Amino acid sequence: MSDYRISHDPQACVKCGLCVAFCPIPGILEVGEDGFPVVVDAQECVGCQTCSGNCPKRALAVEATGDAAFDPFADEPRAEPVDAETKELYAGWQRICMEKLGLRWQPVAVSLVDADELLPDAPMPAENLRFCQAMMAARRGASILMPPFRHSCPDGTSIFGMTGVPEKLATGEIYVLFHKLVDAEAAARMVAERPTLPPKSRRATYVAPLDKTVRAPEVVVFTGTPEQMMWLCMSMSYYTGHRFDFHASGYNSMCVEAVLYPLMEEAPNITFGCYGCRAASDIGEDMMFMGVPLSLMPTVVRGCTELAKKAIPDSRNKIYVPPIM
């Protein structure tokens, strides 16, 4: 398993203590008697890079070590993949949605593997990733299985019910340090209002393009422009006229807003991205996201197909804009 080595350059360090303050997991770093950071327990490090990323002088570095290819589940049997008919169905859904909406990125099938469920037969990354980083790779074509020790964001693993919540995250302290919320009261409210799964109820996340998934996903996440998200929303309203109530905040975008809300409420949800996923991935400024529970995908496909016959091309052709003389 990949461990992490935390190295420190005393010549560059200004003894500000920000690396210790920002580390989300208490007990890894402490401020020594000389004011320099001291590594107390590197075994607990998940490689999130929060300490080094917030060092004003880049005096701290976090590097993966050990056997990155180690797989503690190598001898464990894997779950049977979805059957050929289901795989073909998912591929058709992906093809239609991308064609009718003009999507650049593949829709991502998201699975939260139960604690007592066999893992899908999918590759684990060589190094730890944030969930949002895995999502961005999946929209480009990658299939990624991540047990908690392959996640580099302890916020994500606790939200998904794979681990407990580190104290600095549970209290919201780290959000105040990032200047993302005004004070501890506001941070505690944000943490309290977000949904989470029970600790130890899930054992892994699995993401893949919808046409490549080997497991029936709980949620399908779309990446696109606001205009494309509008058509997605309209595809689900096409047959009913129903208006949706979305939950969006800019906090915990991929894990909470794109996955957990659709999963727990069986309803679509939009998200604009968040500080973490925008700082840690290649998400463009023009991108946003929508999570759709698997049960609504047939409606999405049918609705998109109907809208593409007239409404989508008419809108994109700007039929109500007067010709320029």
Q: What is the pLDDT of residue 68?
A: 52
Q: What is the pLDDT of residue 325?
A: 57
Phi-psi bin for 230: left (phi > 0), alpha (psi -120 to 50), beta?
alpha
Phi and psi angles of residue 278, each rounded to the nearest 5 degrees, phi first: -75, -30
User: The tokens 């049977």 sit on which residue?
Assistant: 80
More confident residue, 210 or 63: 210
For the stretch 2-47, pLDDT in tens is 578 888 888 989 888 888 887 887 788 888 889 888 888 888 888 8
pLDDT band at 324, cuts 50/70/90?
low
Q: Residue 215 to residues 134, 138, 168, 220: CA-CA distances in angstroms?
A: 17, 14, 34, 12
For the stretch 174-216, pLDDT in tens is 888 888 899 989 988 998 999 999 999 999 999 999 999 999 9
Q: Name the pairing type of β-strands 202-209 and 108-114.
A: antiparallel
Taking the C-alpha atoms of residue 21 and residue 24, their distance in angstroms, rounded to an integer, is 8
Residue 101 pLDDT > 90, yes or no?
yes
- Nearest CA-CA partner of 112 in 198, 223, 212, 193: 198
Range in 5-14, 65-74, 118-127 the model is least confident about: 65-74
- Nearest CA-CA partner of 203 in 145, 152, 253, 260: 145
Structural tokens at position 287: 């991108």
Residue 243 pLDDT > 90, yes or no?
yes
pLDDT band at 73, cuts 50/70/90?
confident
Q: What is the pLDDT of residue 323?
A: 74
Q: What is the pLDDT of residue 105?
A: 97
Tell me the three state secondary structure of residue 182: coil
Element (H, E) at 133: helix 131-139
Residue 70 pLDDT > 70, yes or no?
no
Q: What is the pLDDT of residue 53?
A: 81
For the stretch 263-301, pLDDT in tens is 999 999 999 999 888 988 888 899 999 999 999 999 999
Q: Name the pairing type of β-strands 269-271 and 219-224.
A: unpaired
pTM, two decimal places: 0.87
Q: Following CA atoms 141, 78, 263, 209 in sequence, which dihedral angle do they give, to the nearest 10 degrees? A: 10
Residue 57 pLDDT > 70, yes or no?
yes
Partners of 145 in beta bridges:
206
